[in-house]
Structure 1
Amino acid sequence: MSDTQTLSLPDNASLFTRMRVARQCLEVLKNDPANPTCGQLINICLDLNVYASLVQQLQRSEDGRHLLSKRPSLQGKELDLAALERLPEGTLGHEFARYFRDNKIFPFETTLELKNDIDFIGKRYRETHDLLHVLTGYATDVMGEMELQAYALGNLGIRTAAFILLFSSFEHLKAPQSGVGRSEYLRRVRAAYRRGRASPQFLGFPFENHWETPVATLSARLCAPRERLN
């Protein structure tokens, strides 16, 4: 299945419908892992209740209510990467822009309609993925991606992250990749999960207001220290 325009999640969709759409999205993502529509839609399918709970949490604070009201965007079309890269070295804006340049990738974009706050939170989670790479220091190789998924699972309880970890870990334990042995892989995933649990919840943070803030300052504020692994 390649026509992502036919994929959508009806309002108040049943568990069966959400699982069906998630399976269809997975088929697309096998051949197009960066597909923005399916990437966001599968998160909503598997994490609808998680996002609903996160919305409730955000509604309890002034900053959270402001975020839900304004619905700021970190999509590629909203970002001037050239301007961000001109900011001083070490600032969030500069390092975020350099992250895309160095990895030869582009910021997340989607055309999925935002019908409610839950849709917005699903989109926000996808948009902050690359920012978390910058703040946590986890690389973009297979090991780094799994560490970031474990961090998100610990921090937010994201089921999609658990799903990705389950299947990727199974594949890695069968045939270790990237020069990382089985025991080291498991230690690093567990450490990232614990770090996520120990860190303040990141999803409601107004990153777009902190482009000129040093990454080191934000990392100390938003991320627990990394464990030293023996």
Structure 2
Amino acid sequence: MSGPNELARGLMQRGATLGEAIPLLRTTGLQAASDAALLSVPGFRRLHAERWDPPLPEPETLAALPVGSFGHAYAGYMEHYRLSADFFPIQSRLGADVTPTQYAVHRLNKSHDFLHVLGAYETSDADEIAIQSFVFGMAPVALATFLAEAAVHPDIRHDRYKHLRDIYSGHIQAEDFERGAAATALLGERLETLWEVPLEELRQRLGIAARAPGHLGRGGENSCGGFTALPFFTTAIRAA
């Protein structure tokens, strides 16, 4: 039987949708394989053992960090799009029995907007599919678990989650999948301790390749009821 990463790559190569991938990656065997793969990522085993889950600093604290730093860029991104943390309708698990994959779901959910900034993804409908393709390349079973749980959450029918609902019919994007597959080191990082690190330096450290020129700054409608604005990643300063 193929492992989760091999199966995910095969699904990407045949142009599957994210929704089609969910049941194929939710088997008991692949959950166990996902747990083992995650525990092999440097740093992740300790994060899971600690149930590491630090609070976010106040936006004003991050905004005061040096221009070009990860924290300053994150604060600017959140302000630009009028976002708040903990957007997605999903119940986090951090108890003693949480599996590595379930803990990864929590970390990916909490760090979703960090990934937007690290990967230079806007909040548009198109870039939401792109960033989920990025996560699919990085942790396919964790993403499938997240999407399966979000799909049955009672709040998902709210207008503010329209482009989350639309994700299930979105095709896995090859470029973004490969960017995520190359950035698995991100899963073992304590991102909330890296606010002062220059953003471009952090991208290089995590193996996050630059987006193709035609995709960087790709704006468009945000149908989740969020704020549709000009793209954030449009200048050298913001992309730094």
Using the size of structure 2 for normalisation, the TM-score is: 0.58
Equivalent in 60, 64, 69 of residue 49 of structure 2: 69
**How far has the Cα of 1:140 moved from its partner?**
0.8
**Conserved 8 A contact 1:151-1:194:** yes
Structure with more contact order per residue of length (Cα contacts < 8 Å, sep ≥ 6): 2
Distance in 1 (CA, whole Å) between partners of 2:84 and 2:28 is 26
Relative to its length, the structure with more helix (as a share) is 1
Distance in 1 (CA, whole Å) between partners of 2:84 and 2:66 is 21
Distance in 2 (CA, whole Å) between partners of 1:47 and 1:151 is 22
Paired amino acid for 2:133: A
Distance in 1 (CA, whole Å) between partners of 2:53 and 2:168 is 30
**How far has the Cα of 1:151 moved from its partner?**
0.9
Deviations 1:117-142 (A, max 9, x none): 33322211101211111011111101
5+ long unaligned stretches in structure 2: 1-21, 149-165, 216-240
Is 2:191 aligned against 1:207? yes
**How far has the Cα of 1:167 moved from its partner?**
1.1
Distance in 2 (CA, whole Å) between partners of 1:205 and 1:48 is 27
When residues 126 and 225 of structure 1 are mapped into structure 2, their CA distance, relative to the original with a 3 A threshold, is same
Deviations 1:29-86 (A, max 9, x none): xxxxxxxxxxxxx9xx959876654443343466223211222225xx5432211111
Distance in 2 (CA, whole Å) between partners of 1:142 and 1:105 is 15
Alignment of 1:48-87 (within 5 A): 52-60=32-40, 63-73=43-53, 78-87=56-65
Identity %: 25
Alignment of 1:112-131 (within 5 A): 112-115=92-95, 116-118=97-99, 119-131=102-114
Rg larger in structure: 1
1:3 alignment counterpart: none
1:225 alignment counterpart: 210
Distance in 2 (CA, whole Å) between partners of 1:149 and 1:104 is 21
CA RMSD of aligned residues (A): 3.3
Alignment of 1:128-147 (within 5 A): 128-147=111-130
2:4 alignment counterpart: none
2:233 alignment counterpart: none
Is 2:169 aligned against 1:167? yes
**Conserved 8 A contact 1:128-1:203:** no
Paired amino acid for 1:103: Y
SS in 2 for 1:97: helix
Is 2:175 aligned against 1:191? yes
Alignment of 1:88-103 (within 5 A): 88-103=66-81
Distance in 1 (CA, whole Å) between partners of 2:117 and 2:174 is 20
Distance in 2 (CA, whole Å) between partners of 1:63 and 1:205 is 6
**How far has the Cα of 1:156 moved from its partner?**
1.6
**Conserved 8 A contact 2:41-2:188:** no
Distance in 2 (CA, whole Å) between partners of 1:219 and 1:64 is 18
Paired amino acid for 1:73: D
Aligned residues: 167
SS in 1 for 2:170: helix
When residues 50 and 121 of structure 1 are mapped into structure 2, their CA distance, relative to the original with a 3 A threshold, is farther
Distance in 2 (CA, whole Å) between partners of 1:205 and 1:50 is 24
SS in 1 for 2:187: coil
